[in-house]
Amino acid sequence: MIERYSLPPMRELWAEEARFRRWIEVEGAVARAQGELGLIPEEAAQAIVEGLKQVDIPRLISWAKEIEAEIGHDVLSFVRALEEVLGDAGRYVHFGLTSYDVVDTARSMAMRDALDLLISALDELRGVVLRRAREHKLSPMVGRTHGVHAEPITLGLKFLLWYAELSRNRERLLSAKETISVGKISGSVGTYAHLTPEVERRVCAELGLRPAPVSNQALQRDRHAQVLTALAILGGTLEKMATEVRNLHRTEIGELREGRPHGSSSMPHKRNPSTCETVSGLARLLRTNALAALENMAVWHEQDLSRSSVERVVIPDSFLACHFMLRRMTEVMENLVVDEGRMQKNLELTRGAVYSQALMLALVARGMSRREAHELVGRLAMAAQRGEGTLRELALGDPECSRFLPREEILRITEPGYFLRWVEEIFARFSE
């Protein structure tokens, strides 16, 4: 991921030095377990464990890259560099392991920790969204379907809908964390031929993982696909939020505005919802990366390298992008400018036509056929939008409406409060 969309601490988690540290942690845990179980000399295991604590990571990386330039294998280069650093005990480093014992177990550690960072960032956003929802619980505005005015809602309900969806995303991230928190120390094709299952159990326990119940050369990529799909769905929610802010930010609507909008290099008057536009764009990357993760599930037999190049890119980039999007949407919601006057003005734009369903249903309840009521109220609503009066005024003056409905009922059902009388109960469902 380019620097522009990489924020701490997620950026540091996926840095090259952090990756090498995780590899070293796996190798150290394996050596310790093998020494305890007598699979390698105990003194060699102790020397490896202590030696790994003293490794100069930047120098090791440089050394490993020099070796890789000659042999073209990153993990083997890493192992050879360690062997030279550790002296005689180094011959027991990586004893009985295959590359993916180290790579996949270390990657699981990284994805587990990255999910923790995302959950923390998501919780911050959820808190802000819920606070803004409660702040605008009873702030009336027009609800729109197909981009057209429908019926009154409140801004708080719009935000509460986002909060509920973000909460479902949290559950998906927790499930993904559970799925990916596994390690694999089972050797070249997963048979433990040169290891024992007890080594795997001890190593995974030390690293905070569970042993995969069965593996071959690698951990199975349905796990990684689940994680990246969860990130893509979260990205879809963030894009939905961003798209709504962008729409309501438009000059002709003007109900919401980004609190820190970007200007234009050419037009001084412009205040653009650029952060939300960026979030919408990055959501496309998350969906594309999730598709790549799904494609990565199938390989030839026990392993091939068709997925290796893909996941080197899509896994860290998805986490970095998702973290960036969460942080930026939190800032958007914190600083969001709400124009309640414009919301009220837009609510009145159709001169009461948004109350047509309530009027129609009241007529039906009083004995008029649905067809007659639909046609009658439709005519009145069109007249209201032509400027011939408000729907309330036209209904009060219409003989058929007056014959079925008393004046008090027409007044009651043609104002926002009638539509919003259950808002408090909806909010009561969310006690957090």
Report, as residue numbers or ranges, the catalytic residues: 146, 264
Nearest to 274 by CA among 299, 249, 254: 249
Return d(Cα 235, Cα 279) in angstroms, integer. 8
Return d(Cα 266, Cα 274) in angstroms, integer. 15
Question: Encoding tokens for residue 380?
Answer: 């009145």
Return d(Cα 327, Cα 359) in angstroms, integer. 45
